[in-house]
């Protein structure tokens, strides 16, 4: 059953929603497939039907990778790029300054370099702006390029691409939302084209690097059909670049469903082999970065990543470092690191990247602290967190907006006031669609430009329009929320007895990996337990045991909670009974493995 919004808030200030599962359907899936009832329930919650279970639990490219020709303009693009390769033409590449852009350009560049093709890569600096530019095309002219590829950008760059289409054959490989019209260029490969058939809906989830990989497959096939490969130049093993595909897919926060699931699953296996020199060098650098609260390791490791990598390492360790290059450093550093074959250069770039990341954290901390002081030092109107200031670095305002959203559970708008305009970034909560809000703000004329989706957006406006924009946003959000006080909601997947928290269940939960957007790690509720042997470790973490009246015990840990109501309750040594929510995982340490519960939230048991 579902716990309603009228229930008492948890100690973490959340509303708990326990998923409503069709027990009969779960039993049938259990019987038909020979899996446990709990695993069947979790699959049903993810809308996985019986015929889909095999591919979900064991995602393989051999079964999930479609013929690349399914995408509009793919054959046209592959043939033109193959022509350039056969005729040894120079190819120029422009990408985005985020991880998806870095991995997209790297996959294409590594493939072309293997084939002996000279390439020029342009990653725009943040102040240059997103996407193709006159600066890039001037570089390509000087380079003598015959063909230009825009990766992770270009779908709506009508003016700049139409302008230069007379001088170059231009091909766009992208995944961003498309309009009815497309640039007047040689080809646009994008699963979100409005004229794209919807036979494979999961292709709409692809990151740009996934589109690029499909294109490389199509080019490789075309070259094979032309008998291009020889004993001196054998056909490359395209699987070697799946580590980069996995990295870009995870870091672009696209749903890990369908083909993406296969890309990440197989890509993590490739990454574990540490064959990419740049990635290996970065993973071997000393661990100096704080990790998300629920993943914090108490004893620091010698290397940034010494264990087998998973989606957490991609999203929270490698990704932020590559992103830092485009936020506060030199945007091309990430792509250069991923493509280098020189160990000395790899070490230099990895050190530079870590330096950028430290700088990014310092700047982010400074801006966040100033934003909190503004919000808590002045009266606020409406259910929003709305701040603007001069001198804030544009590269961190999106991160700060996300942290304000988490802190206050309100839609958050953070703006950097520049000399020529105000640049802003916003993050939302469930129930407030930022994409619709930004469109409405543009129509009203309170911002000059902007775009985004439901939970995140970017925008620009004139400085004198800040009060009008604040008033518009405040009224819009208040109306959308119907003047109710928003509380964060924890969507709980499964309720189990403490005795069911076994290694066998942990193994079943691991079958659901890789976790990420569209397939989050299951949140589990264990009812009516006591906290025993609680003590503080590390920087504000609490270790304890969950205990039942009949004596069963389960090791548990809660991260960064000692100064919270939840932490004080765990440490209070009362004999009260609690319901706890969190994740059940294996704790692998010093060659030993046991089950451990990672506490997310608690509530006094009814």
- Whether the per-residue pLDDT at 80 is higher than 80: the answer is yes
- Whether the per-residue pLDDT at 185 is higher than 80: the answer is yes
Fold of 1-19+493-606: OB fold (Dihydrolipoamide Acetyltransferase, E2P) (2.40.50)
- Across the range 384-400, mean pLDDT stands at 93
231 backbone φψ class: left, alpha, beta (φ>0; ψ -120 to 50): alpha
Other Cβ atoms within 10 Å of 455 Cβ, number: 18
- Which pTM does this prediction carry? 0.89
The pLDDT tens digits of the residues spanning 485-507 come to: 788 889 999 999 999 999 999 99
Give me 182's structure tokens.
């497309």
Backbone angles phi, psi at 459, to 5 degrees: -160, 165
pLDDT at 297: 46
Other Cβ atoms within 10 Å of 491 Cβ, number: 14
Average pLDDT across the chain, whole number: 91
Which among 196-200, 221-225, 292-296, 514-518 has the top mean pLDDT? 221-225
pLDDT-derived band of residue 289, with 50, 70 and 90 as boundaries?
very low
- Whether the per-residue pLDDT at 299 is higher than 70: the answer is no
Question: What secondary structure letter does DSSP report for 513?
Answer: P
- Across the range 326-337, mean pLDDT stands at 91
Q: How far apart are the first and last CA of the chain?
A: 16
Backbone angles phi, psi at 520, to 5 degrees: -75, 155
List of E strands, 512-591:
524-537, 541-547, 553-558, 578-589
pLDDT-derived band of residue 7, with 50, 70 and 90 as boundaries?
low
Helical ranges in 87-207 per DSSP H: 99-114, 134-143, 158-164
- Whether the per-residue pLDDT at 173 is higher than 60: the answer is yes
- Across the range 256-283, mean pLDDT stands at 97
CA gap 156, 498 in Å, rounded: 53
Burial of 288 (0-12, 13-18, 19+ CB in 10 A): exposed
Which one, of 408, 507, 500, 424, lies nearest residue 465 by Cα?
424
Residues in the chain: 606
pLDDT at 298: 45
CA gap 493, 509 in Å, rounded: 12
CATH of domain 366-480: 3.10.310.30
pLDDT at 286: 84
The pLDDT tens digits of the residues spanning 145-156 come to: 999 999 999 998
- Across the range 468-474, mean pLDDT stands at 95
The pLDDT tens digits of the residues spanning 245-266 come to: 999 999 998 999 999 999 999 9
- Indicate the CATH number of 59-241+262-267 among 1.10.760.10, 2.60.40.10, 3.90.1640.30, 3.20.20.70: 3.90.1640.30
Residue 420: helix, strand or coil by DSSP? coil
pLDDT-derived band of residue 382, with 50, 70 and 90 as boundaries?
confident
Residue spans per domain, the chain: 1-19+493-606, 59-241+262-267, 366-480
- Across the range 182-198, mean pLDDT stands at 94
- Across the range 30-36, mean pLDDT stands at 93
pLDDT-derived band of residue 290, with 50, 70 and 90 as boundaries?
very low
Among the residue ranges 352-366, 448-462, 497-511, the one predicted with the least confidence is 448-462
Which one, of 208, 207, 188, 219, lies nearest residue 72 by Cα?
188
- Across the range 100-120, mean pLDDT stands at 97
pLDDT at 430: 86
Among the residue ranges 303-312, 535-544, 583-592, the one predicted with the least confidence is 583-592
Cα within 13 Å of Cα(76), Cβ side: 14
- Strand 91-94 versus strand 412-417 pairing type: unpaired
- Whether the per-residue pLDDT at 64 is higher than 90: the answer is yes
Domains 1-19+493-606 and 59-241+262-267 share a fold: no
């Amino acid at each position: 059953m579902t716990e309603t919004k009228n229930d008492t808030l948890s100690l973490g200030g959340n509303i708990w929603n326990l998923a409503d599962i069709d027990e009969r359907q779960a039993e049938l899936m259990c019987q038909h497939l020979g899996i446990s009832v709990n695993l069947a329930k979790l699959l049903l919650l993810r809308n996985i039907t019986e015929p889909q279970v095999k591919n979900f639990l064991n995602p393989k490219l051999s079964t999930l990778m479609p013929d690349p020709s399914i995408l509009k303009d793919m054959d046209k693009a592959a043939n033109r790029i193959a022509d350039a390769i056969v005729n040894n033409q120079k190819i120029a590449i422009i990408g985005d300054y985020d991880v998806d852009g870095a991995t997209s350009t790297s996959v294409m560049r590594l493939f072309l370099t293997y084939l002996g093709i000279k390439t020029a890569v342009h990653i725009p600096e943040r102040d240059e702006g997103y996407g193709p530019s006159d600066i890039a095309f001037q570089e390509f002219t000087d380079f003598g390029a015959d063909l230009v590829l825009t990766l992770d950008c270009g779908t709506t760059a009508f003016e700049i691409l139409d302008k230069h289409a007379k001088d170059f054959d231009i091909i766009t490989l992208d995944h961003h939302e498309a309009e009815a019209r497309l640039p007047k260029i040689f080809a646009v490969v994008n699963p979100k084209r409005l004229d794209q058939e919807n036979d494979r809906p999961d292709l709409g989830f692809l990151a740009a690097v996934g589109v690029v990989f499909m294109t490389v497959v199509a080019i490789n096939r075309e070259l094979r059909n032309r008998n291009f490969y020889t004993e001196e130049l054998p056909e490359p093993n395209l699987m070697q670049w799946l580590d980069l595909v996995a990295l870009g897919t995870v870091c672009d926060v696209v749903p890990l469903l369908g083909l993406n699931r296969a890309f990440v699953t197989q890509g993590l296996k490739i990454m574990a082999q540490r064959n990419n020199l740049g990635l290996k060098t970065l993973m071997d650098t000393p661990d100096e970065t704080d990790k998300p609260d629920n993943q914090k390791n108490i004893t620091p490791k010698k290397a940034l990543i010494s264990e087998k990598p998973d989606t957490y390492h991609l999203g929270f360790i490698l990704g932020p470092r590559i992103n830092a290059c485009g936020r506060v450093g030199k945007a091309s550093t990430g792509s250069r690191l991923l493509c280098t074959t020189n160990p000395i250069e790899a070490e230099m770039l990895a050190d530079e990247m870590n330096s950028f990341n430290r700088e990014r954290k310092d700047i982010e901390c400074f801006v966040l602290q100033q934003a909190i002081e503004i919000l808590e030092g002045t009266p606020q109107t409406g259910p929003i967190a709305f701040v603007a200031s001069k001198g804030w670095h544009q590269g961190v305002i999106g991160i700060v907006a996300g942290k304000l959203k988490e802190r206050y559970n309100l839609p958050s708008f953070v703006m950097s006031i520049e000399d020529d305009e105000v640049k802003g970034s916003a993050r939302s909560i469930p129930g407030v669609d930022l994409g619709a809000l930004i469109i409405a703000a543009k129509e009203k004329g309170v911002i000059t430009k902007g775009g985004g989706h439901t939970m995140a957006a970017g925008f620009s406006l004139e400085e004198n329009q800040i009060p009008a924009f604040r008033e518009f946003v405040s009224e819009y959000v208040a109306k959308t929320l119907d003047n109710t006080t928003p509380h964060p909601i924890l969507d709980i997947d499964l309720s189990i007895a403490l005795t069911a928290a076994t290694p066998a269940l942990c193994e079943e939960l691991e079958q659901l990996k890789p976790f990420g957007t569209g397939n989050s790690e299951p949140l589990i509720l264990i009812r009516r337990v006591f906290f025993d042997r609680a003590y503080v470790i590390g920087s504000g973490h609490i270790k304890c045991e969950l205990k039942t009246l009949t004596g069963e015990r389960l090791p548990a840990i809660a991260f960064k909670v000692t100064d919270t109501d939840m932490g004080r309750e765990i440490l209070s040594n009362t004999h009260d009974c609690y319901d706890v929510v969190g994740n059940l995982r294996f704790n692998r340490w010093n060659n030993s493995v046991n089950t451990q519960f990672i506490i997310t939230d608690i509530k006094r048991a009814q």
